[in-house]
Structure 1
Amino acid sequence: MKIRQITSDEVLLYSTKLEDDFYDRKAFGIQPKKVERHAVAFANADGGEIIIGIADDKTEPTPELRWHGATDIEEFNPYIQSLVQLNPSLDFRYTFLQCVGKTGYVMLVSIQKGNRVYQTSDNTVYVRHGASSLPYKDAQKIQELAFAKGSTSYEDDLVKIIRTERVIESKAIKSFLMESFPSTDPLDYVVNENLVDFDTLEPRVAGILLFSDNPPANLPRKCGVKIARYETREDDPERDHLKETFTLGGPLYSLIYETVKKVSDLMSSIKIWTVDGLKNVSYPPESIHEIITNALIHRDYSISDDVHIHIFNDRIEVLSPGKLPGYVTVENILDARYSRNSKIVRTLNRYENAPNKDLGEGLNTAFQKMKDWRLKNPVISEERNGVLVVIPHTSLASPEEAVLEFLEKNKMIQNKQARELTGIRSENSMKNVFYRLRDEGLIERVPGREGPNAAWKLRK
């Protein structure tokens, strides 16, 4: 039990803070079952806070009058007991707040995002959406929530419309067994590994993805890779910027390596300005491999969409369907270990040239190699229905350092070249870099070059 003293300004903040995806406030006296509803909703979403003892706007329109504390902290016991008794158990913490000049206590409850589907004591699933905790009563939506959280995986679903022969007689499984388990019968292997059902011999999604010679044709979901090459650096490319597109499919092992090769081939045709002049764009091969592998083996295959890879002049974007599973967040992704598709991960790791041979270290390797190449780290974010990894081709050096290094090896530099070199998008922002170097007496304008042809050189 923890009691914390807060200021009147903090009281006002709690009293006026808008209820949203991560915050709710309720007057003391609310029924414990209603607190359950909001706590479960937060746990099923991205976590959040409930403060009990500060009324919402509808109950009390005046912010200064919204504090309605309990005279004794034991009066909060029914709320705590109600949350403790939930099954599955919530990960929550609570703190009692006091303020000089305010009567009694309020309780702040912090609920963590969980890796399971949680429900109230009356077996109702709620999910937080904005300022509302909405019930999920449709079995399909609850199943989708379980897939998204990683508590169950679509890889375990049976594909009843496909015969097991598509798996055990494929080129993919024959090649795999010949390399890794030459004396093993294909049917014995997939049954023992639970890639097909023991009783019905119906293949699971994982079995199709791993060993069907053409998974997109055998699954009722999109499961391939779409690659688009854009000739631009813009964040929102137009149709005219789209140069070419490719759609790839196949068993996961070969799909990973085929995708990595196609991305590498496309990158080799792009030329950008570097400190050594105009060169073909290049990224650490390990970073490209690890990020693509991660996108394909950890994606949510219950979502009918392909992995999308967009190649720009200054970056690569990899969008993998499905949010981060379980307790994994953008902040802890390099340290957390959670596998949504354990059968896929385990089987791929058994190949002699396993694409995921460094289990749990893939993204760490990608980040380290970018650093070794003096490039900025990839940027990972959760989108509405997927995880986006942006691999920038931007030097770790400051813009000023990059410009000076370029001019040590080249006679002059123009604004466009410098923007490609530094990753700066704005022409005016780039000019400011030049002006700072000029004011330091390090560079000067090239005589006779004005307007769009303006350039800078090292000062003698």
Structure 2
Amino acid sequence: MTVEEVKNIIQNGENSYIEFKEEEIKAKELAEEIVAFSNSEGGIILIGVDDEGNIKGIKNSKLEETVMNVCRNNCIPNVIPSYESIEVDGKTIAIITIPKGLNKPYYTSDHKYYIRVGTTKRIASKEELLRLFETSGSLHYDISPVEGTSINDLNIDIIRDYFMKYNTFDLFEESKESIERILLNADILKEYDGKKVCTVGGLLVFGKNPEKYLPQNGVSFAHFNGNEITDELIDKKIITGRIQDVAEQLMVVIKNNMLTPSVINGLKREEREEYPMIVMREAIVNSLVHRNYSISGSKIRVLMYNDRIEFRSPGRLPNTVTIEKMKIGVSYARNPFLVKYMENMRYIDQLGRGIPMILKKMKELGAREPLLMEQGEEFILTIYRPDF
């Protein structure tokens, strides 16, 4: 890092990715800052700069060794930062660069989990901690229990049809105790606090009214006459219900909102859809199956513009998944329950094939390459309209 770059950082002040600390910082506090950055998006700690951005400098020649010991002994799992020192205005500043953690969640030696929020660190809330564990792959939210539910919140007829089709037995021929045992083994029910309650996935796939207990379920659709969210609103719908029903209803809504441009092929006029429905189906199912359902109050958003459709799913990518990996078919089942049941019901062809197929189909149509990106707590897939 150059002197000019360091000066610019100091001038702009602290933010979600930058923290200033003086040399006298205690090992415990430094570990908390490092853990917070590791559990978030990574960041930089400048040691030798006070909170107001005044350069105080450092004098300890063994500070690098101290920092590395803190990362090794006070941060669990161990964090491996990069360390460099630079002279600015005649004073030495230490630059500690903390990468985004690949082994979340991280915690301090006194078993506290910190996250970075704006310019400060704080202890992760129960919901935030749940997301960290889910991101690490050590917890799958879709098989967690939903308090206050019971078998009465499930549509047993739909469950019976499922087992008749895929497990070749009739659920109605079983006793009540046997039905409960089957549903427990299938992760549709779960023992919780001495009761048998529905799992998140059980409600999403087989529930009578999933959004009663999971208000984040469903999709918010909006169609704009233009390319900006401030343009005229043509259509708006909220679609809720079981995720397979949401998928089917959203397909119809998107199809009804698409133009059908025509081209002349020889002596015949042929109508073409704005977007291939196979691509729309894959984008819809991917959004429903892979979103982070532990983020409450946020539905999937599908925004349709004149030049593109955006599928905005709550939740960032899990630890080991990157956008480049997704493009070549590497995937991770954030919600293995949903993946399994939607795959059995033929909504999913094969895990990991969706994004490569979307890229291939849109390339064949001569459209701009679909954009995959993370923004805040959303993962966004943007599919651009082909030019006919």
Under a length normalisation based on structure 1, what TM-score does the superposition of the two structures give?
0.70
Structure 1, 138-147 or 313-322: larger mean CA deviation:
138-147
SS at match of 1:21: coil
Q: Distance in 2 between matches of 1:174 and 1:263?
A: 31
Shift of 1:341: 1.2
Question: Are positions 1:243 and 2:237 aligned together?
Answer: no
Residue 357 of structure 2 is matched in structure 1 by: 365
Residue 192 of structure 1 is matched in structure 2 by: 185
SS at match of 1:244: strand
Shift of 1:257: 3.2
SS at match of 1:202: strand
Under a length normalisation based on structure 2, what TM-score does the superposition of the two structures give?
0.81
| Residues 75, 107 of structure 2: 8 Å contact kept | yes
Shift of 1:367: 1.4
**Aligned partner (choices 381, 388, 411) of residue 380 of structure 2:** 388
Residue 428 of structure 1 is matched in structure 2 by: none
Question: Are positions 1:173 and 2:159 aligned together?
Answer: yes
Q: Distance in 1 between matches of 2:68 and 2:264?
A: 61
Question: Are positions 1:109 and 2:101 aligned together?
Answer: no
Shift of 1:57: 5.4
**Aligned partner (choices 134, 147, 167) of residue 122 of structure 2:** 134
Structure 1 pair 383–104 and aligned structure 2 pair: CA distance change class (3 A): closer
Q: Distance in 2 between matches of 1:236 and 1:221?
A: 24
Shift of 1:9: 4.4
| Residues 227, 245 of structure 1: 8 Å contact kept | yes
Structure 1 pair 295–331 and aligned structure 2 pair: CA distance change class (3 A): same
Residue 266 of structure 1 is matched in structure 2 by: 257
1:143-187 deviation digits (Å, cap 9, x = unpaired) = 4555577653432332243321443x5232222222211127454
| Residues 19, 25 of structure 1: 8 Å contact kept | yes
Q: Distance in 1 between matches of 2:89 and 2:379?
A: 47
Q: What amino acid is the match of 2:58? A: H
Q: Distance in 2 between matches of 1:360 and 1:78?
A: 43
| Residues 320, 386 of structure 1: 8 Å contact kept | yes
Residue 68 of structure 1 is matched in structure 2 by: 58
Residue 412 of structure 1 is matched in structure 2 by: none
Residue 224 of structure 1 is matched in structure 2 by: 218
SS at match of 1:387: strand
Q: Distance in 2 between matches of 1:246 and 1:196?
A: 31
SS at match of 1:237: coil
Structure 1 pair 222–81 and aligned structure 2 pair: CA distance change class (3 A): same
Shift of 1:35: 1.4
Q: What amino acid is the match of 2:256? A: D
Q: What amino acid is the match of 1:68? A: I
| Residues 35, 108 of structure 2: 8 Å contact kept | yes
Q: Distance in 2 between matches of 1:235 and 1:94?
A: 41
SS at match of 2:327: coil
Q: Distance in 2 between matches of 1:229 and 1:7?
A: 47
Residue 340 of structure 2 is matched in structure 1 by: 346
Residue 399 of structure 1 is matched in structure 2 by: none
RMSD over equivalenced CA pairs, Å: 3.4
1:402-449 deviation digits (Å, cap 9, x = unpaired) = xxxxxxxxxxxxxxxxxxx7xxxxxxxxxxxxxxxxxxxxxxxxxxxx
Q: Distance in 2 between matches of 1:126 and 1:89?
A: 13
**Aligned partner (choices 202, 206, 211) of residue 207 of structure 1:** 202
1:187-226 deviation digits (Å, cap 9, x = unpaired) = 4543223221256332111111111244234x24231223
SS at match of 2:31: helix
Structure 1 pair 29–146 and aligned structure 2 pair: CA distance change class (3 A): same
Q: Distance in 2 between matches of 1:113 and 1:184?
A: 47
| Residues 380, 389 of structure 1: 8 Å contact kept | yes
| Residues 69, 106 of structure 1: 8 Å contact kept | no
Q: What amino acid is the match of 1:246? A: K
Q: Distance in 2 between matches of 1:275 and 1:124?
A: 66
Q: What amino acid is the match of 1:133? A: K
| Residues 87, 119 of structure 1: 8 Å contact kept | yes
Q: Aligned residues: percent identity?
A: 22
Q: Distance in 1 between matches of 2:25 and 2:59?
A: 12
Shift of 1:25: 3.8
| Residues 91, 112 of structure 1: 8 Å contact kept | no
SS at match of 2:216: coil
SS at match of 1:197: strand
**Structure 2 spans left out of the alignment, 5+ residues:** 172-178
| Residues 222, 304 of structure 1: 8 Å contact kept | yes
Structure 1, 322-331 or 296-305: larger mean CA deviation:
322-331
SS at match of 1:262: helix
Question: Are positions 1:161 and 2:148 aligned together?
Answer: yes
Structure 1 pair 339–51 and aligned structure 2 pair: CA distance change class (3 A): farther
Q: What amino acid is the match of 1:297? A: V
Equivalent positions of 1:399-410 (< 5 A) are none
1:204-259 deviation digits (Å, cap 9, x = unpaired) = 11111111244234x242312233333x1230234xx3333333333323432332
Shift of 1:12: 4.3
| Residues 229, 242 of structure 1: 8 Å contact kept | yes
Question: Are positions 1:287 and 2:295 aligned together?
Answer: no
Q: What amino acid is the match of 1:108? A: I
Structure 1 pair 110–160 and aligned structure 2 pair: CA distance change class (3 A): closer
Q: Distance in 1 between matches of 2:217 and 2:148?
A: 17
Shift of 1:97: 3.8
